[in-house]
Amino acid sequence: MSEHENPIEATSDDTTGVERQAKAQPPTGGQPLILYDLATIVGAAYQQRITVTRQRTVPKRTADQLRPRLHGLPRFDRHQVDTYVDMLFMMAQQLGLINIVSPFYEGEDKPYYRLASESGLEQWSRSDVYGQARQFIAEWSKNTEWHDIWSADIQQWDATDWNPLAARGLLIKIFRSGVYKTEQWYPISSLLDLIWEKGPYWLRPAHYMAKSREQSVPFALRQYWDRCEGVVYRGIIASTLSELGIVSITPLPDTFKMRERARRKPEVKRRANRPRKPEE
């Protein structure tokens, strides 16, 4: 498991999923939930002394008190413990909003979180939501301690050459390029097609460097790519980018479903028209 992977159980496309689709579901995302949560933990550090454990984490009792006030999805570790509160405190430190104060004398008291005395918190408070989101993205794009949520259905096809952290930078680069307009809906499949065209080895540095422009990528690789790289991109969009308010996700509208069927229909026909083997 990667250090920034947080797999969750994925729902299957069964009849229960169809029933859920039939109900009116509001889009998820669109609100900077992570920014709200950062403000919550900074306020908590101002109102009370929050100590730090030897593992540099928030005490469990404090985390349990804060968690109901937070909006972000849970990030479970290998022991099925939600680490979202610790991730927020870690990110707040990286952004210069809080820092850890050590006691003056050994054994006097435990280290604790305190509001940053430097210009970080002041600059953050003066920024609007867009400026704060930019600061968060700049740190998140390279931070291996922040976990995105991937589906548990991910199937790795080559674990020797694997850098999923690069997916964050690529997604931000695509969104900044203006390919996708704001306030418009797009199927995620079209985004995955665009990423595939840019290069299927984007998350695999050795493969990317070894591949020359003259070499063609086998089309059969796409099915493995969808089950691995595609899962990573979908997970980032559905978790961190959605919680940051950069994107909203919603069940696929009927018009997009019809387009997807039309796009895939020729491939289904070719398979159906294959000659059958003669019976012995």
Gyration radius of the chain's alpha carbons: 22
Q: How far apart are CA 257 and CA 225, in angstroms?
A: 22
Q: In the chain, what is the straight-line distance between the N-terminal and C-terminal CA atoms, in Å?
A: 48
pLDDT of residue 250: 87
Instruction: For residue 57, give the CATH number of its domain.
Output: 1.10.10
Are 162 and 130 part of one and the same domain?
A: no
Q: Are residues 205 and 263 in the same domain?
A: yes
Q: How far apart are CA 254 and CA 248, in angstroms?
A: 18
Same domain, 93 and 164: no
Please give the pLDDT value at position 26: 64
Residue 39: domain span: 31-145
In a domain, 8, yes or no: no
Q: Collect the ranges in the chain with pLDDT lower than 50.
A: 1-4, 7-24, 256, 265-280
Residue pair 82/74 in contact by the 8 Å Cβ criterion: yes
Asked if residue 26 belongs to a domain, the reply is: no
- For residues 66 and 97, give the distance between their C-alpha atoms in angstroms, rounded to a whole number: 18
CA 168, CA 240: separation in Å to the nearest integer?
A: 10
| Cα 19 from Cα 39, distance rounded (Å) | 37
Burial (CB < 10 A; 0-12, 13-18, 19+), residue 103, is exposed
- pLDDT score at 253: 57
